[in-house]
Structure 1
Amino acid sequence: MHSPLASLITLVETIARTQDPEAMMDTIVERLCDLMHAEVCSLYLCNPEQDTLILAATRGLSREAVGKVSLNLNEGLVGHIAASLSTLNIADAPSDDRFVYIPETHEQSYHRFMGVPLIHLRKLVGVLVVQGTLNQQFNDDEEAFLITVASQLAGTLHHLQRSGSWMSQPTLSSYERYKGVKGSSGIGTGRLWVIDPHMTLDQVEAGINSDAIAETADFHQAIEWVAEELEAGSGRLGNHLPGDLHALFGVYQMMLNSPELKQGVEEKIKQGDSAPWALCQVIREMAHLFEQSNDPYLKARSEDITNIGQRILNQLLQHDRQVTEAPDEALILCGELISITDLAEFPLKRIHGIVCTAGSSLSHTAIVANALGIPAVMAVEDLKPAKFRGKRVIVDGNRGECIVTPPDALLNEYKRMIAEEQRFIAGLDKLKSLPAETLDGFRVELLTNTGLLADATPGLERGAEGVGLYRSEIPFMIHDSFPTEEEQLRIYQKVLAAYAPKPVSMRSLDIGGDKQLPYFEMSEENPYLGWRGIRFTLDNTQLLITQIRAMLRANIANGNLKLLVPMVSRVDEMMTFRQHVEKAVDDLNKLGYPAQLPSIGMMVEVPSAMLLIPKLAPYIDFVSVGSNDLTQYLLAVDRNNPRVSALFDHLHPAVMLALEYIQKECENLNLPLSVCGEMASDPVAVLVMIALGYQSIS
C-alpha cells in the first residue's frame, strides 16, 4: 500500500463530508476496496439489540443481500470475529471449519479473508471485512491498515448503528427511538411541532459594514424588539409559573442589557465588523466562559446566553419565524433549545412535552419544564426534527427518550402509564409538606441546589427544606470586572431573604481552572488539579474578604447563612479561611453592622480532605460531600470526556467505601453531614446513602 496514513486521512475526511447514512456506508466499502486492491469489502453492523449482525453495505458481494443477510454472534467467520473481538486473517476461508456459506451473497469464488471488529467505548458496533480471490493471507501492512481504519470508523458508525435508521427490513418496527438526557420527569404524547430559527448563530459568516452608525442603530433596535418580546412572553406565561420562577424573564432581560453584550458588539462594529458578525463573536465569547466550566450548572448557563444571542440575530436580520397557527391538539415542542419565551407563544394546555437536541438536565428549559410539569428530554442524539415534523411522538422524561411514530399498541400503553402517573403525582402532593422520613423513622433533610434565585423554585414548591449549595460564581462570570461588595450584597440579600428562615449554604467563589473569568486570564495544562476554589481565593485575599463581608452583611436581616468552602485539600486552608471570617465579623461590628459568625463548612471533593477530617474538625461546623468531583478524583475519570465518561460511576465500590468512611468520621466527631451533586438526584444512590446513615441530601 502507498502512504497508508495519507490514505486513511483521505478516507475519514471523505466520510465526514457524507451526510446520508447509506451513502456513508457505501463510501466506506468502495474506498477500502480501492485502497486495499481487494475484490470485496463488506460492512456488517450489529442490530440495536446487539444480538445479530446484518450486512449493511458491500462492494463485491450481491447487493441484493444487503439488509437481508443476518448472522448470530459466533456464527460463521464474521460472527467469530464479533464474539471474540479479535482480527481474523486467513488464506482460504471456505476451507475453515467456522465458514458458513450464504447463497444470497454469491461469495463462493473468494478465498482470502480478513475481518476486524468495530469497537467504540468497549461496545461492539460491527465487523469490517475484505476478501479476495487469491489463496494467500493479506500481508502485515494491510492488516495493520484495516485495524487502524476500524479504530477510526467505529466512533463514526456508532451513532448510526445505535439508531437503527440504516435497517430497512420489512420485518422491523416502523417507529424510531431516540435517547437523550432526562430533563423533566413524566410522559407526554402529541404531534411534533418544530421550533427552528431561519438562521442560527453558527451560520453567520464574517462580514464588514459600510455604515457603522446605521449598523449600531439596527443592533439597538433588535435589542428593543427582543425586550418587548420578553415582556410579552412574561405576561402570557407569568401567571402559570410558580413563585419566583417568573424571575427568569428578568434574568433574560438582564443578559439582554448587560454592558458586556452591548459594548462588546458596539466595539466590534466600530472596528468594521457587520452587526450580525459582531453579535456572533461576542455571544460566542460570553458563552465560552461558561462552556469550559466543569460545573454542569454553570456550563448550562451558556445556553441562556446563546439563546438571547439567537433572538437578537433573528430580529437583526428580520428572520423571525413565520407565524403558523398551531393545531388545537396536544403538541410536543422540538428544537435545538426551547426557551421560556418559546413556551410563552403556546397555550400551556397544548404543550404535552419538550424535546431538545442540545442542552442538559440543568438547562433553563429543563428547569422551567419541571416547574410547569411538562415532560422534557434534552440532548437527544441523531434526531433530525424537520424529518418528523407533524408526526406522532412520545416523550418519556422518566427514561430520557422519545419515540417517533409509535404503533397504536405502544401509544395506548403509554397513555395508560400517563393516567397511572397522574394518579401517583396527585398522591405525592399530599406528602410534600411532610418531613422526609422512612417507615422505620429515619429522618432525611431534603435541600435544593441553585445559582440563580429562580432555579430553586421547583424544589421549594415540592418541599425543599433550604439550599444545600448556592453557587456564587455567576455574578463574577457575567461582569467585565470583579463585582463590588455592594453589588454582591444586593444579590445575596435577595437569595437569603427568599429562603428565610430556611438555611442557605453559600459556597465561596469557586473560580479558577475550568471556570474562567473574562477579566482574569489563567492558563494551565491541567486545570482540574490547578489554581481553583479555595486555592485561588486565598491567593487573592481581597476578593475573598469582599465576598465574605457581602455575605455576612446580607445575613444580618435573615440569619440563615451558612458558609461553604470548595476544593479544600489542606488543614491550613480551612484554618486561614475561618480566621478571615472571624476578622470580618469583628471589623463589621466595629463599623456598626451587627454581623454574627455563621456556621462554616467544607466541601469534601478532594480525597485528601476526606482523610484529614479529624484534623480539620476544629475549624469547621459541618461537611458537605461534593459527589461529582469526589467521584471524578477517586476514579481518575473526567465525566465530560466522552471516551471515559461511561466509567464515571458514583455507585463504584470505591466511592461507596469513601462515603462510608466520611459518614463514620463525621458521626464520631459530631459534624453534620450532607451530600450534594448528581448522586443526590439518583433514587438508587439515595437509598444507598440513607442506608449508610446520611441524613441530609442536596
Structure 2
Amino acid sequence: MEQKETDNVTAVMALHGKGVAKGIAIGQAVIMGAALLEVSHHLIAPEDIESECVRLDNALRAVFNDLEYIKNNLPADAPIELAPLLTVHSLLVADPLLASETKNLIRHHRYNAEWAITTQGQVLSKQFSQMEDEYLRERASDVNQVIERVLSFLSGVKSFDLKSIQTEQVTDLPFIVVAHDISPADMLNLRDKHFGAFVTDAGGPTSHTAIVARSMHVPAVVGMKNVRSLVKDRDLMIVDGEAGLVIVNPSPLILSQYCRLQKQYETEREFLLLQKDAPAVTVDGVHIELEANIELPEEAKLALEMGATGIGLYRSEFLFMNREQLPSEDEQYEAYSSVLKTMGNKPVTIRTLDIGSDKNLNDEATVAVNPALGLRAVRYCLAHPEMFLTQLRALLRASVHGRLRILIPMISHMHEVFAVKQYLEQAQNELMAEGYSINDNIELGAMVEIPAIAIAIEPFLKELDFVSIGTNDLIQYTLAVDRVDDEVVNLYDSVHPAVLRLIHMTIQAGDKAGKHVAVCGEMAGDVLYTRLLLGLGLKSFSMHPQHIPDIKQIVRHAHTNVLRTKVAKTLNHAIAIDLDEVNAS
C-alpha cells in the first residue's frame, strides 16, 4: 500500500491485487457486507440443542431452495457461466456431511448454529486452500460463499442490498463493488445495476468471481486481502483490471490521466475485436494458432467470440468437484459433446482429470507428504481405472461431434503412455461392441509439465500425436519453487534460462517429428512473453479467451526470423533473459 500527497493535498491510496478481468473502471465504492465476519458466537443451553439443529436444517433448506430458484429462473441474457456455478453452490449446501458435522458441533460443544456452521466452513475451506491445484484451491471461496448465505438466512439479515444504495446515488459514476468475496447469486443481482468493477479481498484467476467478471467484460481485481476494511462507501475509485491496481480517492491529475487511459483502452479494445476474424499471421508469413483455455462448457461460446481457432485446454475437473458422486458417463458425454458441437470443425483439446493427492473425489481427506509430487493427475487416474474408463468412454462417444484431442496431464514415464493407450483401446472396444460410433481421427497428447518428459521428449513424440507445455507446473518443478508460497514466490521465474531451454527443446523436437506443440500455461496469454515464445519457435498458443485479441495484435506485427535470432543469442550467451531486448521493435 502506498500513501502520498499530491500537489492539491489530496490523499491517494494505491492497493495492489491480482488483475483477473481487463479494463479500467472509474466509480464510487459500494461496500458489500460479510455475514461471516459479523455473526454472534455463543453457547446454547442443553435444552435448546435440538431446536438449534432444526434452525440449521431450515436455513440449509432455505438456501438450497433459493439457489435452485435463482438457477431455474435465470434471465436469457445472464452470463452463461452462472447456472453451473449456482449448481456447485447447491451441491455444497445440500451435502449431508455439512449438516451432520455442523450438528455435531452443536450437540457436542453447544455452539449456536451460526458459530457451528462458521467453524465447519473454516474446516472445509482449509482443506481446499491447502490443495496444490490452483483451480481446486479456489473452491475454498465457494465454501465461504455458501456459509455466508446460510449465515444470512440464520440471522435474517441480507449481507448486501444494492437497492437501498442505488436510491441514494448522487453521481452518474458507476458503482465499484468492494467485498470480501462475491457469490454467483450476488453477481446475478448486480447484472442489471449500474456498476463498473469488482474488487475483492479473496479470490484468484480461477475463482468464480474472476470467471464471471471476464464473461461480463467487467474489470476485476481480486486477492487484495484487506481492501474491504480500507475503503469506505462513496470513496472515488479507479480499478485497473490489467495491472491489478486499485486507486482510492485519486487526485484530479491522476483521475484525468486514467480518464484518458480508459477512453484509450476502450478504443483499442473495439479495434482489436474488429480484427477477431483476421488470421494470426506474422509479418514473415508464419501462421500462428491462438486457442482458448476454458473451465466450463459454456465458455466455448466466448472463445469463438474472441476469435479462437480452437480449444487448447478444457479442464475437465469442474465436472468432478464439489459433489457427492462422480459424474456419470452420460453427464460427461453431454459436457464434452457440447463443447465439440459449439466449436464445429475447430479442434477441441480436453484434458483428462487432473486432481491432486491431497484430496480424494469423495471428499475423504488423505495425508500426502508432498501432494505436488504424489498421486495426482494421470497417476491418480491409472490408480482408479473404473473412474478413468468412464471418462475415456464419455470422451470417445463425444468424439463424433467434432475434432477431439485427448490430453493426459503429468506424464513422466513411457509406461504411463502405454497404459493410457491400453485403456483407450479397452474403452473403444467396449463402445463398439455396444453399437456406438467413434471418430477415427482422435488425437492423443500429453502435458509437458515435468522436466523429465521435456529432456527425453523424442520417444514420447513417437507415441503421441501432440504435446502441450504447461508452463505453470514446468517452471515450478524445474526451479523447485511453490508458486503459491509467498516466502519463495520471488524465485518463481518464467524466463529462467533452464525453463526456456526446456520449452525450446520441446518445440524443436516437435518440429523435427512433425508433431503439434502448444503452450497452454499462463505465459501463452501474457503479452510480455509473446515475442519470446515466437522466438523460441512456438506456433500454437492457448490462453483465456479474452487475451486472444491482444496476443493476435502482437503476432500480426511480429517477424519470427528476427525474433528467433534475438532469442537464440540470449539463450546461448546469457544467464538471464533480457525481455526488453526481445520485445524491442
TM-score by length of 1: 0.70
Which residue number in structure 2 is paired with residue 7 of structure 1?
Answer: none
Give the Cα separation in 2 of the matches to 1:183 and 1:204: 35
Tell whether the 8 Å contact from 1:248 to 1:454 is kept in structure 2 after alignment.
no
> Any idea what SS the aligned residue of 1:437 has?
coil
Mapping of residues 265-664 of structure 1, within 5 Å? 265=102, 274-321=112-159, 323=161, 324-326=164-166, 327-328=168-169, 329=172, 330-346=174-190, 348=192, 350-385=194-229, 387-455=231-299, 457-556=301-400, 558-596=401-439, 598-664=442-508
Other structure's SS at 2:221 match: strand
AA aligned opposite 1:569:
S
Q: CA deviation at 1:183?
A: 1.7
C-alpha root-mean-square deviation of aligned residues, in Å? 3.1
Q: 1: distance between equivalents of 2:2 and 2:120?
A: 39
Range with greater deviation from structure 2 (363-372 or 229-238): 229-238
- Quote the Cα distance in structure 2 between the aligned partners of 1:435 and 1:220: 56
Q: Which runs of 5+ in 1 are unaligned?
A: 1-162
What are the equivalent positions in structure 2 for 1:244-283 lying under 5 Å apart?
247-261=84-98, 265=102, 274-283=112-121
Instruction: Look up the equivalent residue of 2:414 and give its one-letter code.
Output: V
Summarize the alignment of residues 1-80 of structure 1 with structure 2, pairs less than 5 Å apart.
none
Specify the code of the residue in structure 2 equivalent to 1:612.
Answer: A
Q: What residue identity is the alignment partner of 2:147?
A: G
SS at match of 1:594: coil
- How many percent of aligned residue pairs carry the same amino acid? 32
Alpha-carbon shift at residue 694 of structure 1 (Å): 1.4
Conserved 8 A contact 2:326-2:361: no
CA distance in 2, matches of 1:659, 1:494: 32
Equivalent runs, 1:146-157 vs 2, <5 Å: none
Map Cα deviations across residues 126-177 of structure 1 (whole Å, 9 max, x no partner). xxxxxxxxxxxxxxxxxxxxxxxxxxxxxxxxxxxxx245x89999862111
Give the Cα–Cα distance (whole angstroms) in 2 for the partners of residues 391 and 474 of structure 1: 37
Residue 111 (structure 1) aligns with: none
The AA in structure 1 aligned to 2:13 is E
Tell me how far apart the structure 2 counterparts of residues 220 and 206 of structure 1 sit (CA, whole Å).
18
Distance change in 2, residues 1:215/1:438 (3 Å): farther
Can you list the C-alpha shifts for 1:26-66, whole angstroms capped at 9, x where unaligned?
Answer: xxxxxxxxxxxxxxxxxxxxxxxxxxxxxxxxxxxxxxxxx
1:285-313 deviations in whole A, cap 9, x for unaligned?
44344322222222222212321221111
Match of 1:689 among 533, 543, 547: 533
What letter matches 2:389 in structure 1? I
In structure 1, C-alpha distance between the alignment counterparts of 2:75 and 2:137, rounded to whole Å: 26
CA distance 1:289–1:381, change in 2 (3 Å):
closer
Could you tell me how far 1:331 is from its partner in structure 2?
1.2
Cα–Cα, structure 1 residues 600 and 396, in superposed 2: closer, same or farther, change >3 Å? same
Shift of 1:226: 3.3
Shift of 1:603: 0.5
Q: Do 2:15 and 2:247's aligned partners in 1 also have CA atoms closer than 8 Å?
A: yes
1:194 is aligned to 31
Cα deviation code 1:337-356 (max 9, x no counterpart): 12333333346462122211
Q: Evaluate the alpha carbon distance shift between residue 408 and residue 169 of structure 1 in structure 2; reply closer, same or farther with a 3 A threshold.
A: closer
Question: Does the 8 Å CA contact 2:197/2:239 hold for their aligned counterparts?
Answer: yes
**How many angstroms does 1:421 deviate by?**
1.5
Q: Secondary structure at the match of 1:420?
A: helix
Q: 1:383 to 1:281 in 2, by over 3 A?
A: closer
The alignment partner of 1:572 has SS state of helix
CA drift of 1:403 comes to 0.7
Give, in angstroms, the shift of residue 198 of structure 1: 3.8
Q: TM-score, normalised by structure 2?
A: 0.82
CA distance 1:655–1:194, shift in 2 (3 Å): same
The structure with the larger Rg is 1
* Superposed displacement of residue 359, structure 1: 0.9
Tell me: CA distance 1:482–1:424, structure 2 relative to 1, closer, same or farther (3 Å).
closer
- Match of 2:30, SS state, is strand
Distance 2:45 2:526 in 1: 51
Contact persistence 2:482–2:488 (CA under 8 A): yes
CA distance in 2 between counterparts of 1:677 and 1:207 reads 51
1:461 and 1:435 mapped to 2: Cα distance? Answer: 14
Instruction: Tell me whether 234-243 or 363-372 shows the greater mean CA deviation.
Output: 234-243
Tell me how far apart the structure 2 counterparts of residues 460 and 262 of structure 1 sit (CA, whole Å): 42
| Partner amino acid, structure 2, of 1:672 | H
Moved more, 257-266 or 473-482: 257-266
Distance 2:43 2:537 in 1: 58
Contact 1:300 1:360 in 2 (8 A): yes
Contact 1:335 1:385 (C-alpha < 8 Å) held by counterparts: no
CA contact (8 A) 1:245 1:457 kept: no
| 8 A contact 1:242–1:457 mirrored in 2 | no
Instruction: Provide closer, same or farther for how the CA distance between residues 641 and 583 of structure 1 changes in structure 2, counting only shifts above 3 A.
Output: same
